[in-house]
Amino acid sequence: METSPITSHKITRIGDQGTEELDDQLAVEEPLEIQIAFQSAGQQQRRSISVTMRTPGHDEELAAGFLFTEGIIHSKSQIESISHSPLDENRVVVTCSAGFEPQLGSLERNFYTTSSCGVCGKASIDAIRTRSVYTDPQEGLVLNKDLLYRLVEQIVRHQNTFEVTGGLHASALFDVSGQFLMLREDVGRHNALDKLIGASLLADQLPLAHRILLLSGRASFELIQKAAMAGLAVVAAIGAPSSLAVQLAEESGITLIGFLKKDKFNIYTGHRRIISL
């Protein structure tokens, strides 16, 4: 059984009416080690790929999404199984299908990744420009601005753990009619998106070409890179995009929206997909 994403902690609250002792709800943050097992030259191999600080829950999706968005695996068929280590709930082992040997030589990543920066361990900017297996830019996809306005209310309504703790990022998926499909939360914004993409991968729903990705915070380079890997054509963020995120979105044919609110937003790239009338 996975650890609860919420824990209680006694605090002292200071206010105009004095002080009080009470229990506060915190988002859990624990390390997750992702390992990959495969056959090589007739021998069973197991490699530790990464340790990431995450909120427990949907660990199998996180592992699958991480391996996919890093370009280590390219389809669900390359995964035989995903399981927690029987000795450690904070370790997940992804076993590759027979006949598939992942190419790990180009994976230039530090062993430890913090929850606040998913790309800190990368050796260079070139190492994170992973090429997506999905190249269709979805030129025919067009969305009305009013549809985008409705997404903000929905992500707030579905952020269950954030409502309790106030301490998590979220990635949410919608169809092109604005219908809510799925949401994943985590202390790390990159983990939340990996969980979402991992869930889609394991359900054989990639590419996500006819889906809208909504990010609860800012749009960083790595989140756009992961979106491109999953074949997404539209990414909207409640917060601001970075300059490199905008550059990558432009290069990848992604419509990137920032500062999305109930009555306004900014379009940074891919303006042709949004109808403002």
Closest CA to 36 of 131, 100, 88, 129: 100
Q: Which pLDDT band, with edges at 50, 70 and 90, does 115 fall under?
A: very low
Closest CA to 270 of 218, 239, 227: 227
Q: Is 120 a catalytic residue?
A: no
Give the pLDDT confidence of 207-253 residue by residue, as tens digits: 999 999 999 999 999 999 999 999 999 999 999 999 999 999 998 99
30-128 classified as CATH 3.90.1150.10: no
Sheet holding 88-96, edge to edge: 79-85, 88-96, 30-40, 43-54, 112-113
pLDDT (0 to 100) of residue 104: 82
pLDDT (0 to 100) of residue 109: 46
pLDDT (0 to 100) of residue 111: 37
Among the ranges given (9-18, 21-30, 99-108, 146-155), the one the predictor scored with the smallest mean pLDDT: 99-108
pLDDT (0 to 100) of residue 133: 77
CA-to-CA dists, residue 114 to 17, 18, 128, angstroms: 38, 37, 16
Q: Please name the residue that has the structure tokens 């669900």.
A: 76
Strands 274-275, 143-144: pairing kind:
parallel
Give the pLDDT confidence of 119-135 residue by residue, as tens digits: 544 444 455 555 677 77
Residue 152: alpha-carbon gap to chain centroid = 18
Q: Which pLDDT band, with edges at 50, 70 and 90, does 105 fall under?
A: low
The pLDDT > 70 percentage for the chain reads 85
Among the ranges given (59-63, 108-112, 234-238, 245-249), the one the predictor scored with the smallest mean pLDDT: 108-112
Predicted confidence (pLDDT) at residue 263 exceeds the cutoff of 50: yes
How close are the terminal C-alpha atoms of the chain, in Å?
Answer: 50
Q: Tell me the two tokens of residue 116.
A: 């606040």
Architecture of domain 143-275: 3-Layer(aba) Sandwich (3.40)
Among the ranges given (16-30, 83-97, 248-262), the one the predictor scored with the smallest mean pLDDT: 16-30
Among the ranges given (50-54, 96-100, 108-112, 244-248), the one the predictor scored with the smallest mean pLDDT: 108-112
Pick the catalytic residue from 104, 107, 117, 147. Answer: 117
Dist. CA 65–CA 118, nearest whole Å: 13
Predicted confidence (pLDDT) at residue 258 exceeds the cutoff of 80: yes
50, 104 in Cβ contact below 8 A? no
Predicted confidence (pLDDT) at residue 75 exceeds the cutoff of 70: yes
- Average pLDDT (72-98) is 95
pLDDT (0 to 100) of residue 5: 79
Domain boundaries, the chain: 30-128, 143-275
Q: Which pLDDT band, with edges at 50, 70 and 90, does 95 fall under?
A: very high
Give the pLDDT confidence of 132-183 residue by residue, as tens digits: 777 766 677 899 999 999 998 888 787 765 544 456 899 999 999 999 999 9
Query: 1-4 — which CB contacts under 8 Å span 24+ positions?
Result: 1/89, 2/56, 2/57, 2/59, 2/84, 2/89, 3/28, 3/30, 3/56, 3/57, 3/89, 4/28, 4/56
Predicted confidence (pLDDT) at residue 106 exceeds the cutoff of 70: no
Give the pLDDT confidence of 23-44 residue by residue, as tens digits: 888 888 899 999 999 999 889 9
